[in-house]
Amino acid sequence: MTGDNVADRLKWSPSKVSRYERARTGQKPSEVDKLLCLYGITGTKREEMLDLAGQVARQRHDLDVYRDPLDDYLDEASELRDWSSRLVPRVLQTARYTYGVMFSRQGVLLTMRSEIETSQRTTGRWQARLAPGPVPVPEDEQMELWAVLDESVLYRQVGTPEVMYEQLGFLLQAASWPRVHLHLLPYGAGAGAMAGSFLHVSYAPAWSELPDMSVVLSHMHGVSLVEVEREVWQYQQVFAQLLSAALDEESTADDIKRVREDFWG
């Protein structure tokens, strides 16, 4: 049975099956149960596999604090479409900006330094796949980003003014990279800007004949994945509308420069 067959029978996305096959992400016991049913595994062997899945899930829960929840979904991504209504997109954050975001949660969530450092390293690895760099990234590891930022993101202080000045400077640097397309949604764009932040992820069709897509929603306790075809399509349409209402790349860079010098300089 091929990966496509499994995805079709279980109503999963091909990328989900691919991540399991390549051990890119762990499986919940309920998902292992579905696979065992599909493959016709019964009796003692089934019980042993489910018990092992439960043990692994418990161990993973203990280690989750040290792993960036986005990493599973971006590891094999080829294209990202990011709508950011409140913060700089994760893939374009500086280390100090990420620290400021995560440290600000201390009053609600206990954030360990190791978690912050892991997120900073992970973000750096994603940026290496976007940046041109002196050493070219292999083509199958490259990512391309289309990002739309709400104008308020430029004014919302995270950390100190120096952190914001540095962060906006990095946005300008990233905007010059060939695989980064940065657009600013101005205050006058209207009610469409009320859509909550989301990240639309496309995976290169490495083993599937059709491109595969999903949407990642970040929240206080991690991330959620949207894989239902119609819902993913709806997010695509929302992003297209936001992009059409946003400034072009040159005007975006001009506004970022202005805010950086006049507001944070």
* pLDDT for residue 2: 82
Token look-up 């009053």 returns 107
Q: Are residues 100 and 112 in the same domain?
A: yes
pTM above 0.95, yes or no: no
| Distance of alpha carbon 91 from alpha carbon 104, whole angstroms | 19
Q: Are residues 24 and 111 in the same domain?
A: no
> Does the structure show a pLDDT above 80 at 15?
no
Token look-up 């990642």 returns 216
Cβ within 8 Å of residue 108, ≥6 positions away: 220
Structure tokens belonging to residue 78 = 């080829």
Evaluate whether 101 touches 88 at the Cβ level (below 8 Å): no
| Distance of alpha carbon 114 from alpha carbon 156, whole angstroms | 26
Q: Are residues 75 and 44 in the same domain?
A: no
* pLDDT for residue 153: 97
Q: Which domain holds residue 254?
A: 68-263
Structure tokens belonging to residue 116 = 């912050």
Please write the tens of the pLDDT for every residue from 74-120: 877 889 999 999 999 999 999 999 999 988 876 655 566 777 788 88
| Distance of alpha carbon 132 from alpha carbon 61, whole angstroms | 36
* pLDDT for residue 199: 94
* pLDDT for residue 194: 67
* Residue that finishes a domain, picked among 65, 88, 108: 65
Token look-up 């980003």 returns 145
DSSP for residue 179 = T
Q: Are residues 31 and 115 in the same domain?
A: no
Q: Assign 3-class secondary structure to 73-139.
A: HHCCEEEEEEEECCCCCHHHCCHHHHHHHHHHHHHCCCCCHHHHHHHHHHHHHHHHHHCCCCCCCCH
- Any idea what the CATH number is for the domain that residue 88 is in? 3.30.870
Q: Are residues 104 and 31 in the same domain?
A: no
User: Alpha-carbon dihedral of residues 175, 131, 126, 115, nearest 10 degrees?
Assistant: -80
* Residue that finishes a domain, picked among 41, 65, 89: 65
| Distance of alpha carbon 85 from alpha carbon 202, whole angstroms | 21
User: What is the identity of the amino acid at 144?
Assistant: E
3-state secondary structure of 27: coil
Q: Are residues 181 and 112 in the same domain?
A: yes
Q: Are residues 103 and 189 in the same domain?
A: yes
Please write the tens of the pLDDT for every residue from 142-160: 899 999 999 999 999 999 9
| Distance of alpha carbon 240 from alpha carbon 197, whole angstroms | 14
Q: What percent of the chain has pLDDT over 90?
A: 42
3-state secondary structure of 209: coil
Q: Are residues 39 and 83 in the same domain?
A: no
Q: How confident is the model at residue 19 (pLDDT cuts 50, 70, 90)?
A: low
| Distance of alpha carbon 24 from alpha carbon 96, whole angstroms | 28
Q: 109 versus 234: which is more confidently predicted? A: 234
Please write the tens of the pLDDT for every residue from 35-71: 888 888 888 888 888 888 777 766 655 544 446 778 7
CA-to-CA separations, 125 to 24, 71, 118, 167, 222, in angstroms, rounded = 16, 10, 11, 17, 19
* pLDDT for residue 210: 39
Total structural domains in the chain? 2
| Distance of alpha carbon 253 from alpha carbon 242, whole angstroms | 17
